[in-house]
């Protein structure tokens, strides 16, 4: 992913709310499944890491991206933004 594409996705994610929150239980198989399904449906997903989660958001982002075969767009504070092109219904057209 180029920096231009990443900047474009950051702009799209700016107005979005976190649709999945990661809490005290951290990364459970259910969270990974939910993120995977959300990525297929939306392509761009914002996650929130709650205060009671002791894990580092950057490490969690890389683990989730690896398991869902997605790209980490950005991690700011306790917010994670991931992107993966939909196999069936691509919606987001990335700049070249």
Say yes or no to pLDDT of 90 above 90.
no
The Cα–Cα gap between 90 and 93 comes to 8
Note the pLDDT of residue 78: 94
Contact assessment for residue 54 and residue 25, using Cβ atoms and an 8 Å cutoff? no
User: How many domains does the chain contain in total?
Assistant: 1
User: pLDDT (tens digit, 9 = 90+) per residue, 3-39?
Assistant: 999 999 999 999 889 999 999 988 899 999 999 999 9
Residue 91 lies in a domain: no
Q: Where are the alpha helices (DSSP H) in the chain?
A: 3-14, 29-42, 57-68
Band the pLDDT of 50: cuts 50, 70, 90: very high
In a domain, 67, yes or no: yes
Domain encompassing residue 12: 3-83
pLDDT at 83: 95
Q: Does 94 map to a domain? A: no
Q: Is 95 within the bounds of a domain?
A: no
Can you give the CATH number for the domain in which 22 is found?
3.30.110.60
Is residue 31 situated within a structural domain? yes
Q: Is residue 34 domain-resident?
A: yes
Residue 27 within any structural domain of the chain: yes
Residue 88 has pLDDT above 90, yes or no: no
Give the model confidence (pLDDT) of 52-71 as tens digits.
988 999 999 999 999 999 99
């Amino acid at each position: 992913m180029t920096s231009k594409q990443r900047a474009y996705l950051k702009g799209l994610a700016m107005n979005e709310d976190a649709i999945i929150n990661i809490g005290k239980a951290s990364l459970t198989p259910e969270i990974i499944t939910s993120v995977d399904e959300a990525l297929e449906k939306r392509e761009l997903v914002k996650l929130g890491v709650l205060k009671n989660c002791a894990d580092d958001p950057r490490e969690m982002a890389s683990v989730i991206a690896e398991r869902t075969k997605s790209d980490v767009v950005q991690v700011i504070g306790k917010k994670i933004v991931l992107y993966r092109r939909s196999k069936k219904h691509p919606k987001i057209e990335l700049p070249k």
